[in-house]
Structure 1
Amino acid sequence: MASCNDRQAEFLARDWMLFLGESGCQVSPATRDGGADVVSNRFVAEVKHHAAPVGPALVRQIFGVATAEGKVPLFFSLSGYSSASIEFGERVKMALFVYDFTQGTLDAKTPAAELALLKGLPSPSR
């Protein structure tokens, strides 16, 4: 993939979720997504395809959406996260990922993301 826009990044995150073991992942409509870009029965994910690192407000926002829906939050970023975002993600055990669409890689930025890359996304019994 030589280039990638915001919408394509959402489909890429969906594919990563499927690769990590989740089924039934759907990319939300381009408008009125309810605060999540990709949803499944157990997860909600936010995707930011921006040049700047993600600040804590956005990480807290998807955490709130997930909490309200009784789901687990995930975050996929092109450009990483601020230190405050990583601290919050670690405290609430949220998987924060950085993707590289040109290399086809996914890197973990929190322990929850590292575990997901090693063992797949957590099942309800984990």
Structure 2
Amino acid sequence: EDLVLYMFGTPGQRRFDFMWEILAEGMLGFVVLLDSVRPETFREARSILDTFRAYAPVPYVVGANKQDLEDAWTPEDLRIALRIPQEIKVLPCVATDQESVKQVLLELLYSILELMDE
């Protein structure tokens, strides 16, 4: 069976939140991409994560972006700071590296397929 992945990006800023509910219709999962070097964005990222979780109880993963930078928070430190449950994957990521992004997307797909098999 062929598997087709449709991805829709949405700006993370609150001024675009009117789009979020529309884009969330029918979603099977989502990725929240965190800026691991900007702790001042963590509170808003947590709020965005909670908002999307409220739209649909679907699998999601968190990408800890900019892991190639020296001052990046580790995925585990981000998990603690954002109170992300252990069962949710917080994955190291470098958004400019194709293989890194591929791993994040594959983990999301695995989570979706696992849920569909239940």
After TM superposition, the score normalised by the length of structure 1 is 0.47
Normalization by structure 2: what TM-score?
A: 0.49
| Relative contact order higher in (CA < 8 Å, ≥ 6 apart) | 2
| Structure with more strand by fraction | 1
Higher normalized helix content (fraction of residues): 2
